[in-house]
Every structure is written in C-alpha cells, then in structure tokens.
C-alpha cells in the first residue's frame, strides 16, 4: 500500500478515543454508549473505504462525531413519527388513517401506564370479560344482540368465514370480489379462511336468481362485500340486501355483510354523502355485519362484528379468536370512542375525523391565506405559492365517489428553477425533511398542500423557516 494512504488510515482515531471525546459526550448521553459505538464503527469503516478509493476525508474527531450524529439522526427518522397529512386524503392508510379523539388518547395513556381492569370485574372481584364493556356499548349503539372486536376488519372477516363456513362454500357476487390495499383480496381471504368461493353473477350485474341457483347443501352463508374503493357506473344491478336476507332465511344460512367502513351516524345530516351503517344493514336482515374501527368510525384499528348472539358466540369460541383479539390499548381507545357516539351533539367537536370532514371552505381558505406569505418567503427563486380550490377525498375505501370541496396551497415550480418534475420532487423532498414532515400531493403541475386536515397551524408555520430547498 502506498505511503500517503497508510498515513491517512493511521490518522483515523481509535474507537475509544472517539467515544471518550467531548464531541461524543452528548451523543452517548442521548443514545447510549453501545449504540454510538456501533454507528461510530460503521462510520470509521466507511471512511476507510473512502480512503482506499482515494477520496479526501475529514478524519478529525470533531468531524467524525458530526458524521455519527447525522447517521444516528437519519436512523431515527425511519422510526414511525408524526407527519402533517396535507395529501388531501383524510383517512390515508399509509399515514395512519383516523386521528384519535382526545378521550381515546387519554384512555390509552392511562391503561399503558398503570394496571387496569382489562379482564377483571370490579363488582365481584373475579375475572371479567375483556370485551364486556365494548359489547354493551356496541349493542346499545347499533341495536345488535351481540358484538365482538378483533384486530382489524380483515381479521373480522377471516374469523367469521373460518368459524361459520370452514370447508364449505361461500357465494359472493362477481361485482364484489374486490382488492383492498394490495394484499387484501376477497377471493384470497375466503380461500385462506378455509372456505370455497362460489362466484355469482357478473362484474356489473348480479340478480337474486343467480344466488338462488348457487345455493346448495355445501353453502355455509351468503357474503355481501361493500364495494368500498371503487364504483361501477352504467348498466349495473345488484341484489337488494332484504332479498338476500330473505333467501338466506329460507335456506337456513346466515347472511353476512362486510361493510368495510362503518359509521354509527347519518353522515347526510352533516352534509356528506350517505354511507351505509351497521344499524341499517342489520335492519335489512343481515345476521352479522363487520366493519373497521379506523375508517369512518374515526377510532383505533379494529374489526367490529355485530349481529346474532349465536353467531357471535360461535365466533368467540373459535381458537383463532385468541390470535386475533385486541390488546388493552385498542380496547381502551375504542371504549372511549364509543362513549363519544353516545353524545352525538358533541361529536363534531370531539371526533377529529368528523370535525375535519365538516370544516367549512371559508375557514380553510382563511387559514391557508395566512400561511401564503410564509411560503412566499421560503420559496424564493424556486416556486410560487397561491391558493388553489381543490377536493379532499375520504380514503381507505370510504365513500369512494364522494369529494369534499377544500382549499390548498399550490406550490408551482418557476420556469427558471429547472425541469418542473425535478423541482416538484425537490419541493416534496424538502417538505419531508422538516422536523415534522409535511406530505402533500402533485396535482396539475403543483405540489398541492390540501389544508383541510391542517389543525396545528402554529406548529406548521413555526417550522416552515427550516424549509431547505438547497441551491
Ligand atoms: C377496508 C376494508 C376491509 C379491511 O379492513 P381493515 O380494517 O383495513 O382490515 C375489508 N373489507 C372492506 C369492504 C373494506 O373496505
């Protein structure tokens, strides 16, 4: 090896000298010595590689400490963290879906920090039932005979099928064999739950006679799946739930409806589109209804099942229930959420999703307008900023046809700043680099920041000065 390189290798500090240096003290205090050591060793190895390749390196202790600090920070940025969701999708599956009401947050913190009555009955001093309180609330709110909860709606559907249709046939309309979010496909779920799918009707039209013809000795139940994330327009027909319920009753099999996004209120009363509720579905004759806790309900990730006592009892007796049951944090959050639904007059104020869905454009526009000057200062020669009328969507397969008018801040690349696509990517990247990353979307040549979901304006404005668009 040549002389100069040997010298450079020799100049790299020993790991102990690095860890004991003044520059490393704060890092060791925050991250612990072993973690700093691991990252420092990796940094030193990178420096040796760079030297071998003939690159100039900063081998000073202070310089290496800065590199280690940077690596530790990059590492931590990959942890799950808070973001500003200005994507215009209110229930964004990739951004954590529903924001929890304060009552749920407080309830979760309490049961996390201390022992709780998760499965303990205070009245008798004996073992209690994990879902007793939730079941009571769900029955009161939906009018169902019985209810239970599991980890998510996908689990609710699997458990239902595995309990009520194992080794048997489940007819589903071809118009409802949907894929939800990549890996969740109704046909696969049916198969993996140990059942056989019987496809009925066609993509656009399915009739009662198709279901009638599909029924046989092996038919376990009829499943109706809410179409959720897409809409078929034109020459279409689906079977009325009441007719399907009647057919099931005559055949002596349960009628199961996967609602996907359940809400316990009439959204039309708030100026939004109609979304079928579990109450309506039960009233039309469904024996069992499943829906998500973190879609339009606006709570924690959970799968809720409501319906006939005997069916819920069978589901609870399935050993798979134990594998899919909710933890205490979900139970606490969901209980507090359901309590809010008991006071509908306070719901808009206390349920973040409903509050966000019903914010007026006037309020959003005023808020966005106040932020414009801050953007204009920061964007300098890179982009212009202006108010843009836009439309938010609910997301997560809820109300797929429905948009809510909203107002956003449109960041438009200046022609002098370079290729628009690259400038948009640079803008989006810089917003993601902020202490609380900001997530927008590209819309008609703008990077659009839809302000409907922006509630913490102070926090948002306060960090904008750190927006670094490079040069
Ligand atoms: C979203 C959805 C599911 C899955 O619910 P998760 O709570 O996300 O597991 C199942 N079925 C339908 C119709 C849905 O819309």
Domain ranges for the chain:
4-77, 84-95+355-466, 102-350
Q: Is the CB of 261 under 6 A from ligand 1?
A: yes
Tell me the pLDDT of the chain averaged across its residues. 94
Confidence at residue 66, expressed as pLDDT on a 0 to 100 scale: 96
The atom number, within ligand 1, closest to the CA of 93 reads 8
Our mutation pick for probing the ligand 1 site, out of 161, 292, 295, 301, counting the most ligand atoms within 8 A of Cβ, is 292
Task: Give the confidence band of 3 by pLDDT, cuts at 50, 70, 90.
Answer: low
How many angstroms separate the CA atoms of 72 and 29, rounded?
Answer: 13
Q: Is the CB of 226 under 6 A from ligand 1?
A: yes
Our mutation pick for probing the ligand 1 site, out of 159, 177, 256, 260, counting the most ligand atoms within 8 A of Cβ, is 260
Average pLDDT of the residues in 191-199: 96
Cα of 243 from ligand 1 centre, angstroms: 24
Cα of 180 from ligand 1 centre, angstroms: 7
Average pLDDT of the residues in 11-15: 93
**Tens digits of residue pLDDT in 31-74:** 999 999 999 999 999 999 999 999 999 999 999 999 999 999 99
Cα of 260 from ligand 1 centre, angstroms: 4
Cα of 261 from ligand 1 centre, angstroms: 7
Confidence at residue 232, expressed as pLDDT on a 0 to 100 scale: 76
pLDDT of 333 above 90? yes
Confidence at residue 470, expressed as pLDDT on a 0 to 100 scale: 79
Q: Is the CB of 302 under 6 A from ligand 1?
A: no
- Give, in degrees to the nearest 5, the angle at Cα 428 between 65 and 421: 120
**Tens digits of residue pLDDT in 140-172:** 999 999 999 999 999 999 999 999 999 999 999
Strands 303-307 and 146-150, sheet pairing: antiparallel
Closest C-alpha residue for ligand 1 atom 14: 260
Alpha-carbon torsion 360, 363, 369, 375, what sign? negative
The answer to whether the CB of 134 falls within 8 A of the CB of 128 is no
Number of residues that make up the chain: 471
Question: Beta partners for 439?
Answer: 85
Average pLDDT of the residues in 74-99: 95
Cα of 302 from ligand 1 centre, angstroms: 10
Q: Is the CB of 300 under 6 A from ligand 1?
A: no
Our mutation pick for probing the ligand 1 site, out of 397, 398, 399, 401, counting the most ligand atoms within 8 A of Cβ, is 397
The answer to whether the CB of 333 falls within 8 A of the CB of 299 is yes
Cα of 153 from ligand 1 centre, angstroms: 5
Average pLDDT of the residues in 381-397: 93
Closest C-alpha residue for ligand 1 atom 12: 260
How many angstroms separate the CA atoms of 469 and 450, rounded?
Answer: 20
Strands 303-307 and 383-395, sheet pairing: unpaired
Task: Give the confidence band of 178 by pLDDT, cuts at 50, 70, 90.
Answer: confident
Task: Give the confidence band of 85 by pLDDT, cuts at 50, 70, 90.
Answer: very high
How many angstroms separate the CA atoms of 221 and 229, rounded?
Answer: 24
How many angstroms separate the CA atoms of 225 and 174, rounded?
Answer: 10
Q: How many CB atoms lie within 10 A of CB 383?
A: 23
Distance of CA 327 to the CA centre of its chain: 18
Closest C-alpha residue for ligand 1 atom 6: 153
Cα of 239 from ligand 1 centre, angstroms: 21
How many angstroms separate the CA atoms of 204 and 222, rounded?
Answer: 18
Closest C-alpha residue for ligand 1 atom 13: 260
Q: Is the CB of 276 under 6 A from ligand 1?
A: no
How many angstroms separate the CA atoms of 208 and 440, rounded?
Answer: 45
Q: Is the CB of 394 under 6 A from ligand 1?
A: no
Task: Give the confidence band of 399 by pLDDT, cuts at 50, 70, 90.
Answer: confident
How many angstroms separate the CA atoms of 63 and 60, rounded?
Answer: 5
Give first-to-last CA distance, the chain, whole Å.
39
Q: Is the CB of 316 under 6 A from ligand 1?
A: no
Cα of 229 from ligand 1 centre, angstroms: 10
DSSP 3-state of 296: coil
The atom number, within ligand 1, closest to the CA of 229 reads 15
CATH 3.40.640.10 holds for 102-350: yes
Give phi and psi for 137, each to the nearest 5.
Answer: -60, -45
Architecture category of domain 84-95+355-466 in CATH? Alpha-Beta Complex (3.90)
Cα of 184 from ligand 1 centre, angstroms: 8
Q: Is the CB of 153 under 6 A from ligand 1?
A: yes
The atom number, within ligand 1, closest to the CA of 259 reads 13
Average pLDDT of the residues in 288-298: 96
Q: Is the CB of 152 under 6 A from ligand 1?
A: yes
């Amino acid at each position: 090896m040549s002389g100069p390189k040997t010298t450079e290798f020799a100049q790299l500090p020993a790991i102990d000298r690095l860890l004991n240096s003044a520059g490393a003290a704060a890092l060791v205090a925050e991250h612990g010595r072993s973690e700093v050591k691991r990252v420092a060793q990796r940094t030193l190895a990178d420096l040796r590689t760079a030297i071998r390749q003939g690159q100039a390196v900063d081998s000073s202790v202070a310089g290496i400490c800065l590199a280690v600090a940077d690596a530790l920070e990059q590492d931590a940025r990959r942890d799950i963290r808070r973001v500003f969701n200005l994507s215009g999708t209110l229930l964004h599956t990739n951004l954590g879906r529903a924001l929890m009401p304060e009552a749920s947050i407080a309830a979760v913190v309490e049961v996390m920090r201390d022992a709780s009555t998760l499965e303990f009955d205070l009245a008798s001093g004996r073992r209690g039932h994990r879902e007793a309180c939730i079941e009571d609330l769900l029955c009161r709110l939906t009018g169902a005979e019985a209810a239970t909860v599991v980890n998510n709606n996908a689990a609710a559907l699997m458990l239902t099928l595995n309990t009520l249709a194992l080794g048997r046939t489940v007819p589903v309309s071809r118009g409802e064999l949907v894929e939800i979010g990549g890996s969740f496909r109704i046909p696969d779920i049916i198969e993996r739950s140990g059942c056989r799918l019987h496809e009925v009707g066609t993509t656009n039209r399915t009739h009662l006679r198709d279901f009638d013809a599909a029924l046989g000795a092996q038919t376990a139940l009829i499943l109706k799946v809410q179409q959720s994330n897409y809409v078929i327009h034109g020459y279409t027909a689906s079977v009325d739930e009441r007719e399907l319920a009647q057919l099931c009753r005559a055949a002596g099999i349960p009628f199961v409806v996967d609602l996907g996004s359940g809400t316990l209120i009439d959204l039309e009363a708030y100026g939004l589109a109609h979304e079928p509720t579990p109450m309506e579905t039960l009233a039309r004759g469904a024996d069992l209804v499943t829906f998500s806790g973190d879609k339009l309900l606006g709570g924690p990730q959970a799968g809720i099942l409501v319906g006939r006592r005997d069916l819920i009892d069978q589901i609870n007796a399935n050993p798979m229930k134990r594998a899919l049951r909710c933890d205490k944090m979900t139970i606490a959050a969901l209980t507090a959420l359901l309590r809010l639904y008991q006071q509908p007059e306070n719901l808009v104020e206390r349920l973040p999703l409903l509050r966000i869905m019903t914010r007026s454009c006037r309020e959003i526009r005023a808020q966005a307008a106040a932020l414009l000057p801050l953007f204009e200062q920061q964007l300098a020669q890179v982009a212009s900023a202006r108010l843009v009328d836009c439309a938010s969507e609910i997301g997560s397969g809820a109300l797929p046809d429905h948009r809510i008018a909203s107002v956003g801040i449109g960041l438009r690349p200046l022609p002098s700043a370079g290729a628009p696509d690259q400038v948009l990517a640079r803008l989006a990247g810089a917003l993601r680099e902020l202490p609380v990353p900001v997530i927008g979307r590209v819309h008609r040549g703008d990077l659009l920041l839809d302000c409907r979901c922006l509630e913490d304006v102070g926090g948002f404005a306060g960090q904008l000065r750190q927006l670094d668009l490079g040069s």
